[in-house]
Protein backbone atom coordinates (compact mmCIF):
# COMPACT_ATOMS: atom_id res chain seq x y z
CA UNK A 1 0.00 0.00 0.00
CA UNK A 2 2.88 2.41 0.73
CA UNK A 3 3.77 2.52 -2.99
CA UNK A 4 0.22 3.61 -3.83
CA UNK A 5 0.03 6.35 -1.20
CA UNK A 6 0.34 9.95 -2.41
CA UNK A 7 2.02 12.63 -0.31
CA UNK A 8 -1.24 14.59 -0.40
CA UNK A 9 -4.55 14.61 -2.24
CA UNK A 10 -6.59 17.54 -3.47
CA UNK A 11 -9.62 17.98 -5.68
CA UNK A 12 -8.03 19.87 -8.57
CA UNK A 13 -4.68 21.21 -9.73
CA UNK A 14 -5.58 24.83 -8.98
CA UNK A 15 -5.92 23.86 -5.28
CA UNK A 16 -2.12 23.48 -5.15
CA UNK A 17 -0.70 26.68 -3.69
CA UNK A 18 2.86 28.02 -3.55
CA UNK A 19 2.53 27.79 0.26
CA UNK A 20 1.77 24.06 0.08
CA UNK A 21 4.70 23.52 -2.31
CA UNK A 22 7.03 25.33 0.09
CA UNK A 23 5.65 23.29 2.99
CA UNK A 24 6.45 20.09 1.05
CA UNK A 25 9.90 21.53 0.18
CA UNK A 26 9.30 21.11 -3.55
CA UNK A 27 11.34 22.91 -6.19
CA UNK A 28 10.15 21.19 -9.39
CA UNK A 29 6.77 19.85 -10.54
CA UNK A 30 6.05 17.20 -13.17
CA UNK A 31 2.48 17.66 -14.38
CA UNK A 32 0.13 15.14 -15.93
CA UNK A 33 -2.20 16.50 -18.66
CA UNK A 34 -5.35 14.44 -19.27
CA UNK A 35 -7.91 14.86 -16.52
CA UNK A 36 -5.39 16.99 -14.61
CA UNK A 37 -4.87 20.12 -16.76
CA UNK A 38 -7.44 19.51 -19.49
CA UNK A 39 -10.18 17.08 -20.53
CA UNK A 40 -8.67 14.14 -22.47
CA UNK A 41 -8.20 15.13 -26.15
CA UNK A 42 -9.25 18.77 -25.47
CA UNK A 43 -6.91 21.60 -26.44
CA UNK A 44 -8.23 24.08 -23.89
CA UNK A 45 -7.23 23.66 -20.23
CA UNK A 46 -9.75 23.61 -17.38
CA UNK A 47 -10.83 26.98 -16.01
CA UNK A 48 -8.10 28.71 -14.03
CA UNK A 49 -5.33 26.34 -15.09
CA UNK A 50 -3.39 28.82 -17.25
CA UNK A 51 -3.42 31.43 -14.47
CA UNK A 52 -2.34 28.76 -11.98
CA UNK A 53 0.61 27.69 -14.18
CA UNK A 54 1.71 31.32 -14.52
CA UNK A 55 1.40 31.88 -10.77
CA UNK A 56 3.40 28.76 -9.86
CA UNK A 57 6.13 29.62 -12.37
CA UNK A 58 6.43 33.19 -11.19
CA UNK A 59 6.63 31.94 -7.58
CA UNK A 60 9.88 30.27 -8.65
CA UNK A 61 8.91 26.63 -9.16
CA UNK A 62 10.14 24.72 -12.21
CA UNK A 63 7.28 23.04 -14.09
CA UNK A 64 7.46 20.40 -16.85
CA UNK A 65 4.63 18.38 -18.37
CA UNK A 66 5.09 14.62 -18.17
CA UNK A 67 2.34 12.58 -19.85
CA UNK A 68 1.86 9.06 -21.12
CA UNK A 69 -0.11 10.39 -24.08
CA UNK A 70 1.31 10.82 -27.61
CA UNK A 71 3.55 13.66 -28.84
CA UNK A 72 0.84 14.77 -31.27
CA UNK A 73 -1.47 15.41 -28.31
CA UNK A 74 1.00 16.67 -25.70
CA UNK A 75 3.39 18.90 -27.69
CA UNK A 76 0.77 21.37 -29.02
CA UNK A 77 -0.95 21.48 -25.63
CA UNK A 78 2.34 22.17 -23.79
CA UNK A 79 3.26 24.88 -26.29
CA UNK A 80 -0.11 26.53 -25.80
CA UNK A 81 0.29 26.75 -22.01
CA UNK A 82 3.98 27.70 -22.22
CA UNK A 83 5.60 24.60 -20.72
CA UNK A 84 8.22 22.10 -21.81
CA UNK A 85 7.04 18.52 -22.06
CA UNK A 86 7.85 14.84 -22.14
CA UNK A 87 5.25 12.73 -23.99
CA UNK A 88 4.99 8.92 -24.06
CA UNK A 89 6.57 8.96 -20.62
CA UNK A 90 5.59 5.37 -19.72
CA UNK A 91 4.53 6.17 -16.15
CA UNK A 92 4.79 4.37 -13.69
CA UNK A 93 8.28 3.59 -15.05
CA UNK A 94 10.92 6.24 -14.28
CA UNK A 95 12.17 6.93 -17.85
CA UNK A 96 9.90 9.89 -18.56
CA UNK A 97 10.47 11.45 -15.13
CA UNK A 98 14.22 11.29 -15.76
CA UNK A 99 13.82 12.87 -19.19
CA UNK A 100 11.67 15.62 -17.66
CA UNK A 101 14.26 16.31 -14.95
CA UNK A 102 16.94 16.78 -17.61
CA UNK A 103 14.85 19.58 -19.11
CA UNK A 104 15.17 21.63 -15.92
CA UNK A 105 17.80 24.38 -15.79
CA UNK A 106 18.83 23.48 -12.26
CA UNK A 107 19.03 20.06 -10.70
CA UNK A 108 15.97 19.78 -8.43
CA UNK A 109 16.37 18.73 -4.81
CA UNK A 110 12.79 17.60 -4.43
CA UNK A 111 10.38 16.79 -7.26
CA UNK A 112 6.60 16.60 -7.05
CA UNK A 113 4.49 14.53 -9.45
CA UNK A 114 0.91 15.78 -9.92
CA UNK A 115 -1.76 13.64 -11.56
CA UNK A 116 -5.14 11.97 -11.30
CA UNK A 117 -4.16 8.30 -11.41
CA UNK A 118 -2.80 6.12 -8.62
CA UNK A 119 -1.33 3.38 -10.83
CA UNK A 120 0.62 5.75 -13.10
CA UNK A 121 1.24 9.10 -11.37
CA UNK A 122 1.42 8.12 -7.69
CA UNK A 123 3.02 4.69 -8.13
CA UNK A 124 5.57 6.18 -10.55
CA UNK A 125 6.45 8.99 -8.14
CA UNK A 126 6.94 6.56 -5.27
CA UNK A 127 9.08 4.21 -7.38
CA UNK A 128 11.25 7.20 -8.39
CA UNK A 129 11.54 8.53 -4.83
CA UNK A 130 9.48 11.62 -5.61
CA UNK A 131 6.56 13.20 -3.76
CA UNK A 132 3.10 13.21 -5.30
CA UNK A 133 -0.25 14.94 -5.18
CA UNK A 134 -3.24 12.90 -6.31
CA UNK A 135 -6.15 14.80 -7.81
CA UNK A 136 -9.73 13.80 -8.53
CA UNK A 137 -10.30 13.08 -12.25
CA UNK A 138 -11.97 16.19 -13.62
CA UNK A 139 -13.85 14.75 -16.62
CA UNK A 140 -15.92 11.72 -17.48
CA UNK A 141 -13.81 8.94 -18.94
CA UNK A 142 -14.41 6.27 -21.54
CA UNK A 143 -12.50 3.18 -22.61
CA UNK A 144 -11.69 -0.23 -21.22
CA UNK A 145 -8.21 0.30 -19.77
CA UNK A 146 -9.21 3.43 -17.86
CA UNK A 147 -12.30 1.59 -16.59
CA UNK A 148 -10.09 -1.19 -15.21
CA UNK A 149 -7.63 1.25 -13.62
CA UNK A 150 -10.43 3.26 -12.00
CA UNK A 151 -11.97 0.05 -10.62
CA UNK A 152 -8.60 -0.87 -9.13
CA UNK A 153 -8.25 2.62 -7.66
CA UNK A 154 -11.55 2.50 -5.76
CA UNK A 155 -10.24 0.17 -3.04
CA UNK A 156 -7.07 2.20 -2.59
CA UNK A 157 -8.91 5.53 -2.47
CA UNK A 158 -11.30 4.07 0.11
CA UNK A 159 -8.50 2.74 2.26
CA UNK A 160 -6.64 6.04 2.15
CA UNK A 161 -9.95 7.91 2.57
CA UNK A 162 -9.44 9.75 -0.72
CA UNK A 163 -12.84 9.71 -2.28
CA UNK A 164 -14.46 12.70 -3.88
CA UNK A 165 -12.91 15.48 -1.87
CA UNK A 166 -9.15 15.45 -1.63
CA UNK A 167 -9.25 17.84 1.32
CA UNK A 168 -10.21 14.85 3.46
CA UNK A 169 -6.73 13.46 3.06
CA UNK A 170 -3.37 14.93 3.89
CA UNK A 171 -0.71 12.27 3.84
CA UNK A 172 2.19 11.88 6.20
MG1 LIG B 1 -4.29 11.78 -16.23
**Which domains, ranges and CATH numbers included, belong to the chain?**
2-168 (3.40.50.1000)
| Residue 42 CA, ligand 1 centroid: distance in Å | 13
Spacing of C-alpha 152 from chain mean position: 18
Q: Residue 39 has what pLDDT?
A: 94
Q: How far is the CA of 92 from the centre of ligand 1 (A)?
A: 12
Q: Each residue of 46-77: pLDDT tens digit?
A: 999 999 999 999 999 999 999 999 999 999 99
pLDDT tier for residue 167 given thresholds of 50, 70 and 90: very low
Q: Is the pLDDT of residue 172 over 80?
A: no
Instruction: Look at residue 165 in the predicted model and tell me its pLDDT.
Output: 52
- Rounded distance from Cα 120 to ligand 1 centre (Å): 8
Contact 2, 172 (CB under 8 A): no
Burial class (CB in 10 A: 0-12, 13-18, 19+), 118: buried
Between the CA of 23 and the centroid of ligand 1 the distance, in Å, is 25
Amino acid sequence: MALLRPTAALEKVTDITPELLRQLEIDAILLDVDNTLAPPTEKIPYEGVQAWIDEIKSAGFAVVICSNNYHSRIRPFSDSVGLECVAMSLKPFPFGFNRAKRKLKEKPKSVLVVGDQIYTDVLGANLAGMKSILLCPQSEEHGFTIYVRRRLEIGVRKKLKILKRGEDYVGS
